[in-house]
A and B are shown apart, each in its own frame.
Chain A
Amino acid sequence: DVKVTQSSRYLVKRTGEKVFLECVQDMDHENMFWYRQDPGLGLRLIYFSYDVKMKEKGDIPEGYSVSREKKERFSLILESASTNQTSMYLCASSLTSGGIYEQYFGPGTRLTVT
């Protein structure tokens, strides 16, 4: 089974802090994604990566950056956390092979910025 893990289930940070959310997958997937989930808005794509050191902006990249130095690890960085970044953050990965595109999700990190 594919396993996607996220470094924290719950995180509380102060406004202005730099925040790192880590995601690791164990199935050698090329693609990795970061979403945020908010009530009534569903999931929105922040950034994705299709290879080491490669990244692409999603729908809502403002205020975020990402890093992918190793294939299995994809980090989301909040350079200066703000209260409107309080949300559930979900990481996902997928293998692009033969047209298979389903994404596998981690358990999520609930971030509160005070």
Chain B
Amino acid sequence: AQSVTQPDIHITVSEGASLELRCNYSYGATPYLFWYVQSPGQGLQLLLKYFSGDTLVQGIKGFEAEFKRSQSSFNLRKPSVHWSDAAEYFCAVGPYSGGGADGLTFGKGTHLIIQP
């Protein structure tokens, strides 16, 4: 069965510092990988996605992520965080069986706290 692990439940970063959120996955085939962000009381917004091709993908809000097949990882990075980046971040892998209708498997999330 596929799974996603986000090892860090909480991360605290100073404003202006760099950020890396970790994501490891288990998947039997070529994965489709996603990072979503959830602000308090809101739904999830897609930050970026990886389907194939260049393993370094750029997303919205200055985020990027790198797919490393050998490490089964898809870590999210940002060179300089802003206070508005404080949110919950979810990594996801899918679909279940290669068909687009199936749901995604989500990690349990990483709560990002920004220190002034």
Interface residues of A (CB under 8 A from B): 4, 30-31, 33, 35, 40-45, 48-50, 56, 58, 90, 92, 94-96, 99-108
Contact = CB atoms under 8 A, between A and B. Distances in A.
Contacts of A49: 101
Given A42-B90, A42-B107, A43-B90, A101 B43 contact: no
Interface stretch (B44-52, B65-73, B77-85): B44-52
Contacts, number: 70
Contacts of B9: 40
A57 B114 CA distance: 38
A40 B104 contact: no
A44 B94 CA distance: 13
Contacts of A94: 100
B44 A102 contact: no
10 contacts: A30-B101, A31-B101, A42-B106, A43-B106, A44-B106, A50-B99, A90-B43, A90-B44, A96-B100, A103-B104
Q: Chain B: interface residue count, which band? A: 20 to 34
A50 B101 contact: yes
Determine chain A's interface SS by DSSP, over half rule. strand
A104 B90 contact: no
A35 to B, nearest CB: 7
Given A101-B95, A105-B45, A42 B108 contact: yes
Contacts of B101: 30-31, 48-50, 56, 96
Contact of B43 (A4, A42, A48, A100): A4
- Going nearest first, the 3 A-B pairs with the smallest beta carbon separation are A96-B100, A50-B101, A45-B103
A44 B103 CA distance: 9
